[in-house]
Structures are given as C-alpha cells and as structure tokens.
Amino acid sequence: MVRKHKKKPASHRKIVLERIQILFEQAQENFSLDPKLSDRYVQLARKLTMKYKVKMPSEYKRQYCKYCYSYLMPNKTCRIRTHKGHLVYYCLKCKKFNRFTYKTGKSTTKKE
Ligand SMILES: [Zn+2]
C-alpha cells in the first residue's frame, strides 16, 4: 500500500473505525463499573457510523442490541444461544432476539 499525502475518504474511514474500536474497548472495560456508560459508548459509536457513513464492523455489531442499542454482555444483559449455525442473542433489556451468523471452523471451542 502506497500512502499519499492527500486527504481521502478512505483514511477518514480508518480513523472512524479506530475510534469505534476504542469505544467498544472502553464499553467492555467499564461495564463492570457502570453498564450505562457502556450503552453510551455504543451510542457514540453508532453516531460515528451515521455521521461518517461507515458500516459498523460485524464484530462490533454483535456487541450491542440492534433494537435498544444497549451493550450486550453475555450473562449480564443478554443470553447467548446457538441455533442451527446461528448465534442468538436474547437481549434482557428489551426482550428481543438478535441473530448473527456463526463463523465455523478455526479455533472454535465447543461449549454446551
Ligand atoms: Zn435490546
């Protein structure tokens, strides 16, 4: 990859994605202290995606509820089940199911 000294939307996007990453890391770190703060980080991350028109990376999409946008912490704010190759997150806040495709292969530890 060659870097040019020009402002490009692509680099903009990279910065936004980095910020989103930080927000989700913060959300995870602060959850035990203040779950509401984690929800707030999720909302900030969502605002960034809307403002800069970037797609939320799929790894982060499964970290919040798509209905009420609360941060999903397994066994705390959601329950996770696997169903026919899908991950089903049951949000305890709004009582809705969030379904995600389940990546198979590579270092999957089976837990039942
Ligand atoms: Zn929810």
Q: What is the pLDDT along the chain (112 residues), one digit of tens a residue?
A: 666 666 556 788 999 999 999 999 999 999 999 999 999 999 999 999 999 999 999 999 999 999 999 999 999 999 999 988 899 999 999 999 999 887 665 544 444 4
pLDDT of 101 reads 85
Asked whether residue 37 is domain-assigned, the answer is: yes
79 within domain boundaries: yes
Q: Which domain does 89 fall in, by range?
A: 9-101
Within 10 Å of residue 6's Cβ, how many Cβ atoms?
6
- Look up the CATH number of the domain holding residue 81: 1.20.5.420
Residue 11: predicted pLDDT: 82
pLDDT, position 102:
74
Give me ligand 1 centre to Cα 52, in Å: 24
pLDDT at residue 56, as a whole number: 95
* Spacing, Cα 71 to ligand 1 middle (Å): 8
How many angstroms is it from 66 CA to the middle of ligand 1?
A: 7
pLDDT score at 5: 61
Using an 8 Å Cβ cutoff, are 94 and 81 in contact? no
**CA pair distance 69, 77, nearest whole angstrom:** 11
Does 4 map to a domain? no
Instruction: Quote the CA–CA distance of 71 and 31 in Å, as a whole number.
Output: 9
Count how many domains the chain has: 1
